[in-house]
Structure 1
Amino acid sequence: MDSKTLQRRRSTNTNKEKKLKRSEVLAKKKAIEKLIKTACAENDQLASFHAFHHFHRNGLSVCLKSGRGNELFSPVKNYIQSLLKLNMEGPYGSEWPVEEKVKRREMVDPEAHYIFVHEIANLNANETATMLTANEASTICVEDSGPLVGFVQYRFVLEEDIPVLYVYELQLEPCVQGKGLGKFLMQLIELIGRKNSMGAVVLTVQKANLLAMNFYISKLR
């Protein structure tokens, strides 16, 4: 075999390898896009986790409900904006007016998923609500949910070529903080991420937000 023929064969093999690699990369990309699309399409991510429909600890009784950014009613939008301002205006300082506009746009995005936290009406906090079955807890949430006391906003996105569940907001009213609810919600978020085959749970926190930094680093580790 002469050198030119050998060179042509090597060149042909190299081109085949490149095409194969491109094909593999495209197949992987399509699989990830399908994964994210499937996760985004499911409206009620809570449906698979009955044990997380209800939280009753440390004198606090709440229930959780799912929501989507493009399905929010005006009172809920107003509540989200008010709680964001209450919790975030301080850490952002002079940057808050600009950041508030960004958060308002993010709030109603169709890809935004929500977990809303409601107080449970007509339930004595001293009652042993932990004895409720999953179905009973779910019924209470639907029929007797009280006012909102917090929410989680999250999305399924691609981050550095990895499908992730990105937590945009975890906001709780001061009166329900420090009772284990935040940790409970993050455990649920991790389960939702795993169920949808996400590679990680991602969030960003301002270093100036010492309360949040302590929660994520010290309490959740």
Structure 2
Amino acid sequence: MSNKKETRLTAKDKRMIRKERQKMTSIAWDAVQKANEIDNPLSKFPAFTKFTCKNNDSVILSSHLVTNLDKEILEQIFHLERTNMKKFYEECEWGWHEKKKRSEMFDERARYLIVKTVDNKLVAFSHYRFDLDFDIEVLYCYELQLSSEIRRQGLGKFMLQILELIAFSNRMKKVTLTVLKNNSAALEFFKTMNYKIDETSPVDSALDTYDYVIMSKINPRLNV
């Protein structure tokens, strides 16, 4: 017979825990709402609006609400997304569903970090949002896409660092993102940028397997 005493939570204890969780969720949501009030979070960091690639080509970066982008640039964004990602979606259980993908990318909550050449050609973009993820305030990076001619020039790393700067300066606790397992280059890239498998990432089992992982980097100034 065990001598250990069972610890049972009283109704009062449960109420206190519930109230504390509600308080933390409220604080997190307030942080998300405050961040979402900013039209252009990159405006505080003018030094990060230009980048010189390893081949000495210069590009210009800007951040926009999706509602402020015209149809032409949205179509350019989606063309690059389709070019880069369609095959990866088709190779996994998700499949490529263009209408559904457009709905996600052009949702009114979407924000875009856009990269253009000096002659106004779109060469890269990131779709991101400030949001709650499992009651934690995060910058969720939905997409980080570069055209083939601009890869391996240091731009992807620079863009991700900008997203981290935007996230952490607005008191988000994490930068979070989803990566398809069949996209080995992307997985390796995020690992080199010190992204780890997030605690919310689903785990394969004998019954279920998943085509993706969730990765994140924690704001070093805040505790999750």
Gaps in structure 1 of 5+ consecutive residues: 1-13, 122-145
Partner of 2:41: 45
Q: How many residues of Structure 1 are paired with residues of Structure 2 in the alignment?
A: 182
Work out the CA distance in 1 between the residues paired with 2:83 and 2:11. Answer: 59
User: Is the Cα contact below 8 Å between 1:207 and 1:213 reproduced in 2?
Assistant: yes
Higher relative contact order (CA 8 A, sep 6+): 1
Gaps in structure 2 of 5+ consecutive residues: 1-9, 195-224
Post-superposition offset of 1:162: 1.3
Post-superposition offset of 1:114: 0.8
TM-score, normalized by length of structure 1?
A: 0.76
Change (3 A) 1:22 1:208: closer
Work out the CA distance in 1 between the residues paired with 2:35 and 2:50. Answer: 23
String of CA shifts for 1:146-204, please: whole Å, max 9, x gaps.
Answer: 11111111011111221111100001110111000000011111111111111111111
Work out the CA distance in 1 between the residues paired with 2:186 and 2:21. Answer: 38
User: Is the Cα contact below 8 Å between 2:124 and 2:145 reproduced in 1?
Assistant: yes
Aligned to 1:60, which of 36, 57, 61? 57
Partner of 2:216: none
Post-superposition offset of 1:89: 1.4
User: Is the Cα contact below 8 Å between 2:53 and 2:153 reproduced in 1?
Assistant: yes
Higher helix share: 1
TM-score, normalized by length of structure 2?
A: 0.75
Percent identity over the alignment?
37
Partner of 1:220: 193
Partner of 2:32: 36
In the alignment, residue 24 of structure 1 is paired with which amino acid? E
User: Is the Cα contact below 8 Å between 1:57 and 1:179 reproduced in 2?
Assistant: yes
User: Is the Cα contact below 8 Å between 1:60 and 1:179 reproduced in 2?
Assistant: no
Partner of 2:137: 163
User: Is the Cα contact below 8 Å between 2:25 and 2:136 reproduced in 1?
Assistant: no
